[in-house]
């Protein structure tokens, strides 16, 4: 068990000008489950590999407990990794795969056997111990990869998108298994995923990266309720938050024809326009034509609720996704009262649950 | 008559005419082939499939039967007969082939010089595959992801492009031996690079190709030089095919250096190693050119393939030659069987 500390850790790949991971600072508590999340190419896997020792650190330091592991070889770091494709040794049985690290470390044979059997029991692999990996299903292979990490009882678990090769149902199942296993073993874990749902459901804390730069590191709840910038706001949550550029008026902002009060201090930091963020479940559909006019294009019925997808009737109004693209306006409505396709509805955020961001910098106001 | 006629026609033909007749020949061949396939494809349904299969496979089977199976049967028959001629009915009634049972096979052990050939062949078949595979593997590991990998690979692979006779001629210069002595008793000028260096260091020149046993080893080195490139190329490709994640997982598990090779790399490329070993072993059993080009097998350095040629065509003992051919064939079989079993295990 140990803490992990990224201290200005930087990785620049040879031949690149911009760092793939730029001055990463994260303090991970002992026993914490930290999820590194972000779009592809954001540097999350590179960060994990730096911690594993598979990637050189070009600047800053990495600490495990009170040991500076920045220039240590992987085997001396006492960390175990679960790879995306599991990376099981195809020529070894499940038992040999799981016990291989101990065998290399020169652990006594009977000791290896008992630790492998113990891990196999936890992961429900006992009957497969003598099989080769190719005779296992995807889910079983995934568990062997987990077992290989558990058997070593390392100070830190590293997991690089371990669920991405499983089908949707198994992924949800395994997600909860891994999370509860980690809580039971109490081993500090760093988990990489591109899936924000995995991040929200599994992590004690989430670290969201973009272009090698840490955007926000906080609990799932705080990430959801108080995103620090437009990117975080757009990335966390499904369906994603609506981000609408609206004009600033005295004492607030104008959302369609609906005036929303905004803190004066916050407005002082803004220009003529701001980006207002509102999650689909916080959208209020009004009956008195109060708010932004939205033309309904699609209704997704989910039973209890329905999601309404539309575009602003006024084409000059911009809807952003956190990373610069255009996307529809989404509102969650009661499943028993859904608007028709082509209908115009009027929406505005509920006053307690709206997010205001600077138009130029994207920073939360 | 006919031969001279053809010769004069060819001589009077211009290059252009030759090219035209060659092109014409190819076109006719293609037309016949396409015609057969078209006719075959005209048949529909299950019968059609059969006709098409015969149209495709038939010619191959015909050629194999004529050029491989039939001669093989003749050779096996030949091995049980005496006589000086390939056709058992040629010669005077006294010298004509007679059925002698296993006598030709017994001769393998009893004829002076032949047990030595068997011993030499065993030496070749053991040393060449093992040493060239080991060298090729070592080299492939050393240059893997190193700077100038392509150039380094080409250097080792080039000998593969040289014919065995050519390679032997090159090495005959390397091994060259000058037994004469100067007036002051020192050895004469050596043009062979090994002896040149050896005598400079004060050693007496060595007759590499003339001394029994040493000459066998010297010739084995030539084939190793040729085959190591093949081993290196195949094994290098196999090493590159090992997924990076496996190697990284092994590094996380604390493996490095020789243990990485022993526990991860070698098991991962096992099937390629087996293919290389067996391919080289079979090639070695059939290698005739090196010994033939070096000495013709006259200096106690002969191997089965060379002896097969000598007995069949030089000393006119086709029965014994056929017996040797069968022994080579029988020795190749277990290697092929082993290869197939191992590959099936991996699949």
User: B250 — contact with chain A (CB < 8 Å)?
Assistant: yes
User: A107 — contact with chain B (CB < 8 Å)?
Assistant: no
Query: pLDDT grade, residue A336 (50/70/90)?
Result: confident
Q: For residue A92, list chain B residues with Cβ-Cβ distance below 8 A.
A: 267
Mean pLDDT of A5-14: 92
- Written as one string, the DSSP assignment of B110-128 is HSTTHHHHHHHHHHHHHHH
Phi, psi of A152 (to 5 degrees): -75, -10
Mean pLDDT of A261-273: 82
Percent of chain A with pLDDT over 70: 98
| Interface contact flag, A104 B252, Cβ < 8 Å | no
Q: Of A88, A103, A179, whose CA–CA distance to A134 is shortest?
A: A88
User: B346 — contact with chain A (CB < 8 Å)?
Assistant: no
Q: Is the pLDDT of residue A291 over 90?
A: no
User: A341 — contact with chain B (CB < 8 Å)?
Assistant: no
Q: Of A35, A322, A69, whose CA–CA distance to A193 is shortest?
A: A35
> What pairing do the DSSP bridges indicate for beta strands A79-82 and A156-160?
parallel
Number of CB pairs, chain A paired with chain B, less than 8 A apart: 60
For the entire predicted model, the pTM comes to: 0.78
Q: For residue A75, list chain B residues with Cβ-Cβ distance below 8 A.
A: 251-256
Q: How far apart are CA A204 and CA A186, in angstroms?
A: 12
pLDDT at B3: 43
Q: For residue B246, list chain A residues with Cβ-Cβ distance below 8 A.
A: 87, 89-90
Q: Is the pLDDT of residue A101 over 90?
A: yes
Of the partner residues B248, B255, B270, the one whose CB lies closest to the CB of residue A104: B255
pLDDT at A322: 55
User: A84 — contact with chain B (CB < 8 Å)?
Assistant: yes
Q: How far apart are CA B218 and CA B210, in angstroms?
A: 10
pLDDT at A324: 56
- pLDDT-flagged residues of chain B (< 70): 1-13, 346-347
| Interface contact flag, A104 B251, Cβ < 8 Å | no
| Interface contact flag, A101 B245, Cβ < 8 Å | no
Q: For residue B243, list chain A residues with Cβ-Cβ distance below 8 A.
A: 85, 87
pLDDT at B1: 39
pLDDT at A4: 94
pLDDT at A325: 58
* Check: complex ipTM more than 0.90: no
User: A87 — contact with chain B (CB < 8 Å)?
Assistant: yes
- Written as one string, the DSSP assignment of B32-73 is HHHHHHHHHHHS-HHHHHHHHHHHHHHHHHHHHIIIIIHHHH
How far, in Å, are A32, A267, B54, B57, B99 from residue B38 at the CA level? Answer: 72, 82, 13, 15, 50
pLDDT at A98: 95
User: B260 — contact with chain A (CB < 8 Å)?
Assistant: no
Give the dihedral of Cα atoms B113, B116, B120, B121; nearest 10 deg.
80
Q: Is the pLDDT of residue A135 over 80?
A: yes
Percent of chain A with pLDDT over 90: 61
How far, in Å, are A112, B17, B278, B290 from residue B287 at the CA level? Answer: 50, 40, 14, 7
User: A146 — contact with chain B (CB < 8 Å)?
Assistant: no
Query: pLDDT grade, residue A41 (50/70/90)?
Result: confident
Q: Is the pLDDT of residue A224 over 80?
A: yes
Q: Is the pLDDT of residue A188 over 80?
A: yes
């Amino acid at each position: 068990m140990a803490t992990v500390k990224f201290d200005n850790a930087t990785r620049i790949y040879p031949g690149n000008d911009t760092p793939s991971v730029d001055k990463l600072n994260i303090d991970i508590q002992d026993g914490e489950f930290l999820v590194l999340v972000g779009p592809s190419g954001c540097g999350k896997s590179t960060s994990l590999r730096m911690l594993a020792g598979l990637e050189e650190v070009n600047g800053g330091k990495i600490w495990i407990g009170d040991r500076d592991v920045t220039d240590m070889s992987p085997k001396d770091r006492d960390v175990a990794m679960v790879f995306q494709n599991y990376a099981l040794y195809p020529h070894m049985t499940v038992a040999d795969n799981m016990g291989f690290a101990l065998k290399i470390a020169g652990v006594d044979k009977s000791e290896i056997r008992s630790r492998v059997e113990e891990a196999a029991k936890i992961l429900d692999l006992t009957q497969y111990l003598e099989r080769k990996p190719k005779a296992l299903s995807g889910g079983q292979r995934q568990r062997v990869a987990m077992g290989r990490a558990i058997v070593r009882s390392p100070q830190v678990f590293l997991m690089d998108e371990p669920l991405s090769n499983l089908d949707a149902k198994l992924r949800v199942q395994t997600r909860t298994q891994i999370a509860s296993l980690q809580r039971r073993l109490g081993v500090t874990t760093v988990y990489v995923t591109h899936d924000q749902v995995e991040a929200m459901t599994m992590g004690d804390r989430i670290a969201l990266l973009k272009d090698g730069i840490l955007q926000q590191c906080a609990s799932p709840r705080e990430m959801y309720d108080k995103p620090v910038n437009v990117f975080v706001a757009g990335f966390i949550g499904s369906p994603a938050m609506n981000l609408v550029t609206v004009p600033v008026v005295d004492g607030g902002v104008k959302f369609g024809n609906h005036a929303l009060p905004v803190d004066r201090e916050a407005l002082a930091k803004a220009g003529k326009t701001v980006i207002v963020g509102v999650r689909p479940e916080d959208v209020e559909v009004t009956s008195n034509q109060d708010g932004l006019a939205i033309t309904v294009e699609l209704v997704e019925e989910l039973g209890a609720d329905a999601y309404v997808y539309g575009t602003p009737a006024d084409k000059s109004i911009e809807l952003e996704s956190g990373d610069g693209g255009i996307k529809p306006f989404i509102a969650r409505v009661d499943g028993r009262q859904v608007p028709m396709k082509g209908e115009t509805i009027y929406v505005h955020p509920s006053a307690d649950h709206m997010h205001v961001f600077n138009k130029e910098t994207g920073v939360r106001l | 008559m006919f031969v001279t006629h053809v010769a004069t026609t060819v001589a009077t033909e211009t290059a252009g005419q030759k090219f035209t007749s060659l092109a014409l020949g190819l076109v006719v061949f293609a037309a016949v082939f396409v015609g057969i396939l078209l006719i075959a494809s005209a048949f529909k349904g299950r019968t059609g499939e059969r006709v098409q299969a015969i149209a495709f496979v038939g010619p191959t089977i015909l050629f194999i039967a004529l050029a491989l199976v039939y001669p093989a049967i003749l050779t096996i028959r030949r091995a049980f007969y005496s006589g000086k001629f390939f056709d058992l009915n040629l010669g005077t009634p006294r010298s004509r082939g007679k059925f002698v049972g296993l006598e030709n096979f017994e001769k393998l052990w009893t004829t002076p010089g032949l047990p030595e050939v068997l011993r030499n062949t065993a030496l070749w078949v053991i040393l060449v595959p093992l040493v060239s595979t080991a060298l090729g593997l070592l080299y492939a590991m050393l240059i893997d992801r190193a700077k100038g990998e392509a150039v380094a690979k080409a250097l080792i692979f080039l000998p593969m492009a040289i014919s065995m006779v050519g390679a032997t001629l090159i090495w005959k210069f390397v091994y060259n031996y000058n037994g004469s002595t100067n007036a002051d008793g020192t050895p004469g000028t050596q043009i062979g690079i090994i002896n040149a260096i050896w005598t400079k260091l004060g050693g007496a020149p060595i007759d590499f190709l003339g001394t029994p046993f040493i000459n066998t080893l010297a010739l084995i080195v030539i084939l190793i030089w040729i085959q190591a490139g093949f081993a290196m190329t195949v094994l290098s490709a196999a090493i590159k095919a090992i997924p990076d994640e496996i190697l990284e997982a092994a590094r996380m598990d604390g493996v490095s250096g020789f243990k990485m090779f022993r526990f991860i790399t070698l098991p991962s490329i096992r099937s390629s190693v087996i293919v290389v070993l067996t391919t080289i072993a079979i090639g070695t059993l059939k290698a005739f050119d090196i010994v033939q080009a070096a000495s013709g097998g006259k200096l106690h350095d002969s191997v089965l393939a060379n002896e097969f040629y000598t007995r069949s065509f030089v000393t006119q003992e086709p029965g014994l030659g056929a017996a040797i051919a069968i022994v080579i064939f029988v020795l190749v079989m277990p290697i092929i069987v082993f290869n197939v079993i191992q590959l099936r295990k991996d699949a």
